[in-house]
Amino acid sequence: MCIVIGMSTADVVLALLSRGPAHGYDLKRGHDTWFDQGRPLAFGQVYATLARLERDGLAAVAHTETGGGPERTVYEITPAGRARLAAWVAEPAEPAAPGADELIRKTVAALRLGLDPAGFVARQRAAHLRRMRALEQTPATDPTSRLVVEHAVAHLDADLRWLEVAAGYVSTDGAAAPVQLLHHVAAGDHSDDSPDDQSDDSPDDHSDDRSRA
């Protein structure tokens, strides 16, 4: 399960290094703890990243440890690295670019082509809810891993809301009428926005006997 995608590994390694000098294995462990729902950081990537940071003057070799096992290089962040880290955190993340998502591609295709759009929406909804349920049951190992889960849940929720809206907006190619998926099905001429909707979601006629039931 990979929640964190497109994250800049170099920036994260820099962030981890800012906590104090560390060697590659420390950094891998630190990364995997921060993002324990994400893909573990490969050793090869750690060392390649450190080499790049060193080349760019953002990290430097502090010393090498030789106690017992194989030699280990300990790195530390440089002042330029700290400046870069501060700038990275200060800059808001680019909101996810629209249109590049498999969910969007499928939804547009299903709705435009009229390929069982209601079934498509129901299946996609179930898939999202199942994922959300699994995330909700993920034990929170520490506060930041819970935060990463919350982010994923919020995204699934946004997808679900979008799916509902999309179903009402997208027209079938070649058809004049919009795909009527979520609203107004068999509604005749009664308006969905009539004030009587209030009486549905809060049938107040019954509130008294409820509270004393």
Q: Is 130 in the site for another protein (CB under 8 A)?
A: yes
Phi, psi (rounded to 5 degrees) for 75? -105, 155
Distance CA 149, CA 121 (A): 24
Q: Which ranges of the chain would DSSP assign to H, the alpha helix? A: 9-17, 24-34, 43-55, 79-90, 102-113, 117-136, 143-169, 196-201, 207-211
Burial of 167 from C-beta contacts in 10 A (0-12 / 13-18 / 19+):
buried
Indicate which single residue of 56, 65, 101, 136 sits in contact with another protein (rule: CB under 8 A): 136
**Token digits for 63?**
């010393």
**Token digits for 138?**
């993920």
Q: Is 147 in the site for another protein (CB under 8 A)?
A: no
Q: Is 140 in the site for another protein (CB under 8 A)?
A: no
Q: Is 76 in the site for another protein (CB under 8 A)?
A: no
Half-sphere exposure of 44 (CA within 13 A, CB side): 0
Q: Is 175 in the site for another protein (CB under 8 A)?
A: no
Q: Is 103 in the site for another protein (CB under 8 A)?
A: no
Q: Is 183 in the site for another protein (CB under 8 A)?
A: yes
Indicate which single residue of 19, 42, 133, 144 sits in contact with another protein (rule: CB under 8 A): 133
Name which of 74 and 182 has its Cβ closer to another protein.
Answer: 182
The piece of 54-62, 78-86, 93-101, 195-203 that touches another protein (CB under 8 A) is 195-203
Q: Which residues bind another protein (CB under 8 A)?
A: 118, 121-122, 125-126, 128-130, 132-133, 136, 153, 156-157, 160-161, 164, 182-187, 190, 192, 194, 196-197, 199-203, 206-207, 209-213
